[in-house]
Structure 1
Amino acid sequence: MTKALAPVAILLISVSILLTGQGLQGTLLPVRASLEDFSTIAIGTMGAAYFFGFTVGCLKGGELLRRVGHVRVFLAMSALASASPLLHGLIIQPLVWGSLRMLTGFCFAVLYVVIESWLNELSDNENRGVIFSTYAMITLTVFAGGQMMTLLYDPQGLQLFIIASILVSIGAVPIALSTSPIPQQPQTVSVDVKRLFEISPSGALACLVTGLANGAFWALGPVYATSLTNTVEIAAWFMTSAVIGGAIAQWPLGLFSDLVGRRKVLIAVSLVGGIVGLLLFVAAPVLNFTTANILAAFWGALAFPLYTIAVAYANDFAEAGEYVMVSSGLLLMYGIGATIGPFAASALMTMQGTGSLFLFTALVHIALVAYVMIRFLRRRTQAKQQIAFSDALSAAQTASQVFEEDIQPHSPDDQ
């Protein structure tokens, strides 16, 4: 394992620093917006703006890479992403913050493209699962660390915005000084949504549902947590508990899906996730610091691995040459869901109270269970041989596969 990770150590260090800054922003901004009396709709729209920018970056960032290359694009996006938190701290206005969140989403999507292209360049079929599983674990861990940094200073001051900017800026240094081979110029992969639904309707819908639930959580989770005790500190702990739960459960659930079947795990995880969401909704008035964090950890342990399980499930039915196209299409479905989710959840929270954030996540999780079960009962078809979960995890990464290679669509199969 050490031999496999040594060539990519510099890149992983860069990822760690960058995403620590991103994790700090992800919790700081909703908390500060709430303290500034931004409406719940405004906060949800800001979250939707981030994921809209992220989706555009995933689909359009390849054009930037082809024009000026990976290193220059990485440095340019890091500079813009570093400026964004400073502008957040200087201009306290919902419309400006929404625009800046869209810019940040675009920048980080392109940064992921560069980093993951580089990781793919330095890995092969024998060690790609190890490298990308380590990358996924680092992503969740440092994101949690960044969220806890909101406790360092008063969120109403400028200090935390400055720290976020510094972290993003420093994160560019390892890449700028790296002597690793630069990846080849990427080729565009067309996202074929029709073919995606022919391959795995359940997998595609599961990614859309994951985007709806997780996008709403990232945008509005701090608002929900703050409302429980009327203290800012709980927001950092609540979000971090959910992320840690997701990090711990990622591999066990994935490996379990290898053993008992992806569909069964998808149904079980969605169903239990819906139940935990209902508990967070119903019990919101009586939750204290401890019980809120315990439930957040359970919710994260179910909600966050769902995307990777869905990707693995969809890839079980894909032809060998369709993995990149399927992964990019599933990413698009997640991005669409994550764009709609914060806005829809914020509307429900405005009407029913902040606790209804998890009523929203419960409804979409249970709707997924109903769809998969109905489809299963209607079409009892024999599943193809599953791919290993570690291989699916490497295919489920954030953005780079959108530009990895040209794919020619195959004729529709029976799945």
Structure 2
Amino acid sequence: MYVAMKNSWALLLGLAFLMLGNGLQGSLMGIRASLEGFPTGVIGLVMSAYYMGFLAGSVVTPKILRRVGHVRVFAALASLASSAALLYAVFVDPVVWSLMRLLTGFCFAGLYIVCESWLNDAATNETRGQLLSIYMIIMMGGMAVGQLFLNMADPAGYDLFILISVLISLGLIPMALTASPAPNFTASTRLKLKQLYRISPLGMIGIFAQGISGGAFYGMAAVYGDRIGLTVAQISGFISIMILGGVLLQWPIGRLSDHFDRRWVLSISAMSGGVAALLALYAGETGNFTLFLVAAALFGGFSVPIYSLCIAHTNDHLEPSKMVAASSGLILVNGTGAIFGPIVVGPMMSIAGSAFFFAWLAFGHLGIGLFALYRMRVKPSQPMDTHSPFVAVPVRNASIVVALHPETEEWDEGDDARAASDADGAAPLEEGDEIPEILDDGPALGENSS
């Protein structure tokens, strides 16, 4: 572990600064857009541009990495993201902001790919799990702490945009000065989406619905808080505690899914998240801020693990050598859902009022839970010894992070029997049938093959 940390400390330190800046930026954009009088529907479009850029960055960055290398790509993308943060304050215009959000999403997708491929190269079978845990803590912790920086200056001014730019620029310094050798980059393959659906309908539908809900939350939570009259300090606390709730409950929920039918755990977690969203709706409308924070923490605790549960459920039907390829497709599906979240919620908040925000989140989570129950009814559960261990991964990562789990390296040919078992409801694969093919000639991450 010491060797892995020695080779990765600069990367992890830089990542911490990046996540502080990214966490602050998302909430600041929502608050500032409201202060500037942008219509709620327009704000939804602006916020969704980040996810469009993220998907584009997932496709393009691997091609650039193969040409110029990790350090140069990291430096270029961090510089672009830092510059975009300043342009928000200079040009307060929805069109310019949408373009900058698109650019920011593109940059952060590439930055995640660089970080995860570097960590994967530095890890050994003995240190993979520990590095993945540290990566997870830095990602989610940085996002949560970044919310608190909203209280350092007036969102109506320039200072917070400058702070975002500084934080992102600071993230570049450790990487630029590191003497550790850059890894050799090998782009991951991917599964066709129709094959991915055949492997696991629940995994694919669940992660799409989670994307819609997650995109709506991260894009519009600050706008919702402003609409119901929360102060900046209350908005920052509300979003931060939601993220921390997800960090705290992700591991125990994941461990439960390793010992029980994962579909039961996914269903209960999703429906609990839906109930927590309804509780937050009630608390927000009645002005009970203490209850609102409790509900937000519970919502995050039950909602955030859904992403990892869907990946784990899909992995239950694959041998480890196919997991990274499957996660690439799932990330595409999740990111596509995230684009639609703010686009739907923004205009509907203008029409139906602020209450639609948590009503939408409740509807999405209850839908995931009910669909999981339906899949359990049409397809018997798999034997527990065929389950792959739960891997907690941060939402909106690159698929390379799945390769950090030791199981993806510790696979032998005898595990093909598990891969031949069908998913949670797809047509059974007969003995001798091949597992859905892997495309070796497509883009590395996240592009639709259909």
TM range (shorter): over 0.9
Gaps of 5+ in 1: none
CA contact (8 A) 1:129 1:393 kept: no
Aligned to 2:68: 68
Correspondence 1:79-90 to 2 at 5 A: 79-90=79-90
Which string of whole-angstrom CA distances, capped at 9 and with x for unpartnered residues, describes residues 309-341 of structure 1? 111111111123211111111111110110111
Gaps of 5+ in 2: 409-415, 424-450
Is 1:333 aligned to 2:333, yes or no?
A: yes
Deviation for aligned residue 1:82: 0.2
Is 1:414 aligned to 2:422, yes or no?
A: yes
Aligned to 1:375: 375
CA contact (8 A) 1:325 1:402 kept: no
SS of the equivalent of 1:393 reads: coil
Q: Distance in 1 between matches of 2:121 and 2:188?
A: 17
Q: Distance in 1 between matches of 2:254 and 2:3?
A: 24
For 1:353, the aligned partner's letter is G
Change (3 A) 1:11 1:194: same
Change (3 A) 1:399 1:371: same
Is 1:273 aligned to 2:281, yes or no?
A: no
Is 1:304 aligned to 2:304, yes or no?
A: yes
Change (3 A) 1:414 1:230: closer
CA contact (8 A) 2:393 2:401 kept: no
Which string of whole-angstrom CA distances, capped at 9 and with x for unpartnered residues, describes residues 144-170 of structure 1? 111110100000000000000001011
Deviation for aligned residue 1:199: 1.3
Correspondence 1:252-267 to 2 at 5 A: 252-267=252-267
Which string of whole-angstrom CA distances, capped at 9 and with x for unpartnered residues, describes residues 247-302 of structure 1? 11121111121122311110000011111112222443213332222211111111
Deviation for aligned residue 1:395: 10
Aligned to 2:286: 286
SS of the equivalent of 1:229 reads: coil
Is 1:138 aligned to 2:146, yes or no?
A: no
Which string of whole-angstrom CA distances, capped at 9 and with x for unpartnered residues, describes residues 358-404 of structure 1? 11111111111221211211122434611122xx3369871152998
Q: Distance in 2 between matches of 1:35 and 1:160?
A: 14
Correspondence 1:9-408 to 2 at 5 A: 9-187=9-187, 189-383=189-383, 385-389=386-390, 392-393=391-392, 398-401=397-400
CA contact (8 A) 2:207 2:333 kept: yes
Q: TM-score, normalised by structure 2?
A: 0.86
Which string of whole-angstrom CA distances, capped at 9 and with x for unpartnered residues, describes residues 51-100 of structure 1? 11101111221111112111111100011000011000111011111111
Q: Distance in 2 between matches of 1:346 and 1:249?
A: 29
Q: Distance in 1 between matches of 2:228 and 2:294?
A: 14
Deviation for aligned residue 1:8: 2.0
The 10-residue stretch of structure 1 (7-16 or 332-341) with the greater mean CA deviation from structure 2: 7-16
Q: Distance in 1 between matches of 2:216 and 2:9?
A: 33
CA contact (8 A) 2:277 2:299 kept: yes
CA contact (8 A) 1:198 1:412 kept: no
Which string of whole-angstrom CA distances, capped at 9 and with x for unpartnered residues, describes residues 7-41 of structure 1? 32221111101110111101111000011111111
Deviation for aligned residue 1:205: 1.2
The 10-residue stretch of structure 1 (215-224 or 55-64) with the greater mean CA deviation from structure 2: 55-64
Q: Distance in 2 between matches of 1:314 and 1:287?
A: 41
CA contact (8 A) 1:204 1:333 kept: yes
Q: Distance in 1 between matches of 2:52 and 2:121?
A: 28
Percent identity between matched residues is 37
Q: Distance in 1 between matches of 2:107 and 2:251?
A: 29
Q: Distance in 2 between matches of 1:115 and 1:75?
A: 12
TM-align CA RMSD: 2.1
Q: TM-score, normalised by structure 1?
A: 0.93
Q: Distance in 2 between matches of 1:134 and 1:397?
A: 17
Q: Distance in 2 between matches of 1:73 and 1:286?
A: 49
Q: Distance in 2 between matches of 1:393 and 1:276?
A: 21
For 1:37, the aligned partner's letter is G
Q: Distance in 1 between matches of 2:401 and 2:3?
A: 28
CA contact (8 A) 2:121 2:183 kept: yes
For 1:300, the aligned partner's letter is G
SS of the equivalent of 1:179 reads: coil
